[in-house]
Amino acid sequence: MNINFYKGDKPINVMIFRNDYETRTFYKFGMSKRLSDGTYENGYMDCQFRKETELDNKTKIHPKEAWLSFYINKDNKTVPYVFINEFEIIDDIYEEVDMDDILPDEEESVDIDNILD
């Protein structure tokens, strides 16, 4: 399932957080959503890149080609992540991501709760 990082014609940029653990590097991006009371709830989504990709912590990017994927962990649980295949590094001010803007429409969406069970 492809993920569109645009709001109308305007690209949505995300900040990538890097975590080095032993011999592996893990990435995630920050996101937020507006709640019905007007406040925001913040969270993170794991992401992966092509093997040759190395990004510094807090790198701002615009994902051009990305999709939802998953792996099975050692406890046999499904773990979703966003695979970012193509992106552009952004030098301007970080813009917070509203997941309502990048997730597919309701008829195209995946029920993550069912995947994780």
| 70 phi, psi to nearest 5 deg | -160, 165
Residue 112 has pLDDT above 90, yes or no: no
Please report, rounded to a whole number, the percentage of residues in the chain having pLDDT higher than 70: 78
Query: Mean of the pLDDT values across residues 74-86?
Result: 96
42, part of any domain:
yes
Tell me the pLDDT band of 115, cut-offs 50, 70 and 90: very low
pLDDT, average across residues 93-103: 55
Rounded distance between C-alpha atoms, residue 15 and residue 44, angstroms: 10
In a domain, 95, yes or no: yes
Please report, for the domain that includes residue 83, its CATH number: 2.40.50
Burial of 70 per CB tally in 10 Å (0-12, 13-18, 19+)? middle
In a domain, 113, yes or no: no
What per-residue confidence (pLDDT) applies to 24? 92
Q: Which domain holds residue 82?
A: 6-105
Mean pLDDT for all residues in the chain: 84
On whether the CB atoms of residues 97 and 29 are closer than 8 A, the answer is yes
Does any domain span residue 110?
A: no
Three-class DSSP category at 34: strand
Domain count, the chain: 1
Q: Which two tokens stand for residue 94?
A: 């970080």
